[in-house]
Structure 1
Amino acid sequence: LAKVQESISKTLKFKIIHRSFLPTYIFTDSDLIIVIGQDGLVANTAKYVNGLPIIGVNPDPERYDGVLLKHTPNNLITVVKNVVTGNYKTKHVTMAKAQLNDGQTLLAFNDFYIGADSHISSRYSIEFSGKKEQQSSSGIIVSTGAGSTGWLSSIFNMTNNINGYHKSTTDKCGTVLNWDDNKLVFVVREPFLSKTSKASIGYGLITNTKKLIIESNMPTKGIIFSDGIEADFLNFNSGSIVEISLAEEKANLV
């Protein structure tokens, strides 16, 4: 942090913001965002900066993979000057949006979890592509292209292991999207089939013309959280209806 401060202090005025203040901090259109930390901090920051350019700085390349941290403190000042003069390129990342019927919204860089906040059944009605049904499951995962190699891939790994054991197919299932694809993938985890719950809606692609709508039937402990951060959540209890769609803004990584 000290090295980054020293390198930019003669070029820009800057302010240090702790990650806990991201949801409430008001960014302006003239701001340039520099994120120092692990990849998850870049993903979390992108949800709150309204498409402003983000420079991800890897403070310790020997410790952090740095998939989203393309720069180091040593080359930071050059990158900053290029951004200020408009001489830079960005990688656009499609994000997901959850909007409740009371107007609350939440964005996801990688994925959403929608369901119960503990190891109990998630109960809800689900509507997609002209079909609607009641379900009881372990919750729903919605993934962006950036997140399709993470939590979503583990669900496909489990499915492929089961298919392989029963030798029911030689084709492995899985969906990997490009980061800028205008698509999201949703998967229902462990849907339970009973007299009151169905399991015919289990997977789909959300696009500009296809949205996912879920209504909670959980009196308490219903939740929607994004990017594996349980503190970054919306309550999702009985009466709450959420529409999952593509976010209007994209993350812009320098």
Structure 2
Amino acid sequence: MVAPRVVVVHRASEWTELLARHGTRGQVAFFLQQRDQSPAEVSARHDELDAALSTVAAGIPSDWRRATVERAELSRFAFEPEDVVLVVGQDGLVANVAKYLDAQPVIGVDPAPGRNAGVLVPHAPAATAALLARVRQGIAAVHERTMVEARSDDSQSLVALNEIMIGQPGHQSARYLLEVGGIVERQSSSGIIVGTGTGASGWCRSIARIQAPQLLLPEPTEQVLAWFVREPWPSPTTGVDLIAGRLDGDRLALRVESDTLVAFGDGIESDRLSLRWGQRVTVGISPRTLRTVVA
């Protein structure tokens, strides 16, 4: 029988990235001082992350297989179906890894309590051994977090944990025909956001406060999405009646009327769908979920 494998996902610290760029600790310190930043604070954050990773590593059973992957390598890493994924870092790092998974349990570990929101990384490094034991025994409490998916009519697809944004790549006005709930409207706007209950604690909540304060945002495990049109522009040919709502099983559809629009998830513009004039894209609930271990 093959031993279980733990994959530890983390992001290189600011100090590590600066050291790779500048070569020596002295040059890093000079660079930071020139920008009125404290080398000691940046170095302390590096040490904090390093200590958390060491504690996590010590909590992995000695008979388990293990692998480590940095955020920049995620697109090239092959996750196995039986992996247990340990994400050590900020909440956003869990969102970064989510689209590469398919039902593997995720344990979010916070290396810097008090600096992170801790929504997706609620666990202390010292809890690693106990959490892995519960996962192995099949008794871990898990949240099945809803994800959002965009599909284009040329078979491109994209999945995200928090939200998908559709807009103009240069952040100018996006022109499109929007269809939702059987209603169709031609619009010109800064783009459309479709978010999950997990995303409702971040960008979507910020937009909802201004755009639709009465809209009931979904819970993380609820099979519902929330959508918002950013800064719709009223004109003789474009309307502003469709600005926000909920998607409960149905899908939002958009037909591109700009030269190019893009769709990207969780703020990662480098991984995106490119949509040309006349193309149609739909956004709805993904059949995949993110399984986060809560206890």
Could you state the TM-score of these two structures normalised by the residue count of structure 2?
A: 0.77
Aligned to 2:175: 123
Q: CA deviation at 1:247?
A: 0.5
Aligned to 2:49: none
Aligned to 1:241: 280
> In the alignment, does 2:260 pair up with 1:251?
no
The whole-number CA distance in structure 1 between the counterparts of 2:201 and 2:61 is: 37
> In the alignment, does 2:283 pair up with 1:231?
no
Give identity over the alignment, percent. 35
**CA displacement, residues 169-195 of structure 1 (integer Å, 9 cap, x when unaligned):** xxx523221111111111111111222
**CA displacement, residues 91-127 of structure 1 (integer Å, 9 cap, x when unaligned):** 1111111111111111121111111123311011111
Aligned to 1:132: 184
Q: Which of the pair is proportionally richer in helix? A: 2
Which 10-residue stretch deviates more, 189-198 or 5-14? 5-14
- Asked which structure has the greater CA Rg, the reply is 2
Alignment of 1:153-232 (within 5 A): 153-159=205-211, 172-208=213-249, 210-220=250-260, 222-232=261-271
Aligned to 1:169: none
The whole-number CA distance in structure 1 between the counterparts of 2:218 and 2:211 is: 18
The whole-number CA distance in structure 2 between the counterparts of 1:129 and 1:62 is: 42
Letter in 2 for 1:78: A
Q: CA deviation at 1:199?
A: 2.2
The whole-number CA distance in structure 1 between the counterparts of 2:170 and 2:147 is: 26
Q: CA deviation at 1:248?
A: 0.3
Aligned to 1:7: 59
Q: CA deviation at 1:51?
A: 1.9
Could you state the TM-score of these two structures normalised by the residue count of structure 1?
A: 0.88
Gaps (5+ residues) in structure 2? 1-52
> In the alignment, does 2:156 pair up with 1:104?
yes
Aligned to 2:122: 70
Q: CA deviation at 1:44?
A: 1.7
Higher relative contact order (CA 8 A, sep 6+): 1
Q: CA deviation at 1:9?
A: 5.5
**CA displacement, residues 62-99 of structure 1 (integer Å, 9 cap, x when unaligned):** 43231111222212011112111212110111111111
Gaps (5+ residues) in structure 1? 161-171
- Tell me the C-alpha RMSD between the 2 structures: 1.7
The whole-number CA distance in structure 1 between the counterparts of 2:63 and 2:239 is: 60
Alignment of 1:84-99 (within 5 A): 84-99=136-151
The whole-number CA distance in structure 2 between the counterparts of 1:92 and 1:39 is: 16
Equivalences, count: 241
Aligned to 2:102: 50
